[in-house]
Amino acid sequence: MSFFFPLPALLSSFSRFLFGFLIISILLPDLASTSTSNIPTKIGKGYRLISIQESPNGGLLGLLQVKQKNNIYGPDVSLLQLYVKHETDARLRVHITDAGKERWEVPYNLLPRETPPSLKQTLGRSRKDANTLKPSEYAGKELVFTYTPDPFSFSVKRKSNGQILFDSTSEESDPYSGLVFKDQYLELSTKLPKDASLYGLGENTQPHGIKLYPNEPYTLYTTDISAINLNADLYGSHPVYMDLRNVEGEAYAHAVLLLNSNGMDVFYRGNSLTYKVIGGIFDLYFFSGPSPLDVVDQYTAFIGRPAAMPYWAFGFHQCRWGYQNLSIVEDVVENYKVAKIPLDVIWTDDDHMDGHKDFTLNPVNYPRPKLLAFLDKIHARGMKYIVIIDPGIGVNKSYGVYQRAIANDVFIKYEGKPYLAQVWPGAVNFPDFLNPKTVEWWGDEIRRFHELVPVDGLWIDMNEASNFCTGLCTLPEGRICPNATGPAWECCLNCKNITKTRWDDPPYKINASGIQAPIGYKTIATSAYHYKGVLEYNAHSIYGFSQAVATHKALQGLEGKRPFILSRSTYVGSGHYAAHWTGDNKGTWEDLRYSISTMLNFGIFGVPMVGSDICGFYAAPTEELCSRWIEVGAFYPFSRDHANHRPQELYQWESVAESARNALGMRYKLLPYLYTLNYEAHTTGAPIARPLFFTFTNETDLYGLSTQFLLGRGLMVSPVLESNKTEVEAVFPPGSWYDMFDMTKVIVSKESHHIVLDAPLHVINVHLYQNTIIPMQQGGMISKEARTTPFTLVVAFPLGATRGEAKGNLFLDEDELPEMKLGNGYSTYVDFYATVKKGTVKVWSDVEESKFALEKGWKIEKVTVLGLQGSGSAIEIEVDGNVVQDTSTVEISTTEHAYTEGLEESGGDKMKNVMVEVKGLELPVGKKFSMSWKMGIKA
């Protein structure tokens, strides 16, 4: 749900901009005074390094002194502590803070990391004459830190080839300053090569695709404005970017994280990047890569590996804001079943609540006895139920949740009293999740609610935090709020703007909401404070993150099950606890395209379980658009239809239902593959959905491709993203690509090139890349059933190869156990291998922890091998080293491949390239097997 500028949701981007600016200008007439046009381009003369030596833990510890003070955006901090440390072979940290006093940092208990040396250690060291300090290097295994003393600047380079990854030098001709460090304004820049491709810096709806676009605004500050707003700070703050460069045909990737939760503008000019931050410190982390997968591995090793998701979470989800009573929900579930469209999870927005209050049930529309009976029914089927909770707790003396909150003193404060805001229940207070007592109280409320309604996961929304009012508000005695005479998002409290503090009106204005809105606009006042006096000014962008941490802890304590949390607001590390959807979008073709870029960015951010509202949240989509959207959304890692008060379920149109059956039918066959990618993400950080350059890193033409994506290493989705199209132009990187809906069809590409594919209304093009093995099952209407069906292994060789190899894997576990790991007796991991050489095809497996799969009785009944030459002969099979004597049930069939394109490039003979299917197998997944046959291929 979103409240921000609901009317402009229907307007053009420019109209929304004007509308928003007019609204804020009327409400806040001082906005015009925030202009910074009179501020010089360069601020100050930077700092000089006056001492540096080795720290007790093997890093560098130095002292920086300002060269020339000025009062632009406030006085300079005179002395800074510099701390540099190679924390791992691939990670370098550069930490710069006030040497005289502690400053705000992202709490170490929320994002665990090494603690820098104390400030006293810096000030206690003798200072050396700056003239004696010379440029010097501090080298690690992969990265080298180099510094220049006066004016102080530093660079980070790659040790293997000397490539400079970050360079903070400010030349006279550069349009940015050197190091600037004031209480409420920090600035730092780096030079960049013009051919670098940058990704990240979100959350942001980027109209140009996944690559960062020079001179577009990149503002980071968690804000409830809908995802339909382009180039604006949205729900999450992820101050990290990945830099991909191709040097003489070789790709090198690295990432830079600025671990800072304050509001910031990041200016990317193509050949430079500048941070302008309104508080905190510079805490920079450099991740050396060199591949994109290496970067995400190193990044998530630091911020926290992505959360393990239960198997059912990869099924299809249905939600609508407007399921006004339980009977509608029951009808939706039944209609999906009748339409034969898979469905695993049914959701309710705040319709189930009593007066929009968290942890309550509407006694009329969602009576508990009937709801429990409904849940018993769907749980028996294997389905799940998830509900929404917002952070705002209704101010109501008869409301038990509020009573217990007051008794435990859990709310964010302003001048000693709980800060008053307004959201859907009316007047609310916001829990302070930085307070340990709040975390305990929140966990107890979730436990109480779970006893009332045994939900299977929680959806935390509006947690930027969103507020329908601005400033310091009161609720006059006797006033009803909301008053039911106007829209629920209209502020009905008595409020006054707060501009008396420098926290509410900082000297530098970030480009909040894309219009330089005051940072306290429609959120918690930034001069409100949290536990131990922490200002909302500093902690604002970690609010949703802290709520996700508390919610995850609470759910882990229930029934020993793996938590499922969906969060709108995210920060660095949120993926360790929660999934994410991309917020309130529109039912337009543009929004469908944007969804791919945002999804791919979140994979880089360490939040791989991500998807957009299928068919759009606002404004009814056309039938054709919804049909095309489910074809894409069926391959989002998180696949959910969610709409605003209008029936948009996939069965509402027969044509959409047909597209859904086709696309979701394939998704449910691929569930073992998707779940294995979930395990890979949980253990290495690898995104589930990836840009094509993650696999084809040397193909520079793919660096900006935002209309196709990969699932894992080699499953490519090429959707139709425009109206009235029955073809799609797709890029095919070099190699052999097999059509997943008809595996006899193959495209062979010698070089990356565009191919026009047939794509009638109900067709989505999905292709499997060579050298890949993927496990599949037979699908079904629900993941619980699909999971019990026999397995098929699909082995893809390069077309016509006389020598080749392919690999794949499979992870299986008791998916609701809290931990996703091997060695607990409830999981199995299988590596699959295949080779073709010397005229023989061989497929085999290697199994870790076989017990779980054997107890479940899973079997492989078919192996399909793609791209072979010639016909097969008698097959030999071994299981656990023992030859299978009776292969009478095994059938081998061959089918010629049909060439879409590239036969002459493949060098193959059309008559000899075939798909071989081996059916009638009874291979236990939990046992090592080997099978081979002669193909009559010349070596």
Helix then strand count (H, E) for the chain reads 16, 54
Residue 392's contacts (CB-CB under 8 Å, 6 or more residues apart) are 358, 421, 422, 423, 424, 425, 428, 429, 430, 462, 465, 467
How distant, in Å, are the alpha carbons of 80, 110, 280, 563, 891 from that of 435?
30, 11, 20, 22, 65
One-letter identity of residue 856: K
Residue 689, classed as helix, strand or coil, is strand
Task: Give the per-residue SS3 of 338-380.
Answer: HCCCCCCEEEECHHHCCCCCCCCCCCCCCCHHHHHHHHHHHHH
The one-character DSSP state at 445 is: H
Angle between helical axes of 436-452 and 543-556 (0-180°, round to 10): 50
Rounded distance between C-alpha atoms, residue 1 and residue 21, angstroms? 22
Alpha helices, H only, 670-765: 671-684
Rounded distance between C-alpha atoms, residue 327 and residue 340, angstroms? 20
Beta-strand ranges (E) seen in 124-177 are: 136-139, 143-148, 153-158, 164-167
Alpha helices, H only, 321-475: 326-338, 368-381, 400-408, 436-452
Which two structure tokens, joined as six digits, stand for 357? 């209050």
Residue 814: which H helix or E strand, with range? none
**CA angle 811–817–819, rounded 5-degree value:** 70
Count of other CB atoms within 10 angstroms of residue 759 = 20
Residue showing tokens 């901009």: 17
Rounded distance between C-alpha atoms, residue 320 and residue 343, angstroms? 14
**Residues annotated as catalytic (active site), given as ranges:** 461, 464, 584
Alpha helices, H only, 482-634: 536-539, 543-556, 589-604, 623-633
Per the rule left: phi > 0, alpha: psi between -120 and 50, beta: everything else, 173 is alpha
DSSP assignment of 182-223: BSS-EEEEEE--TT-EEEEEES-B-TT-SS--TTSEEEE---
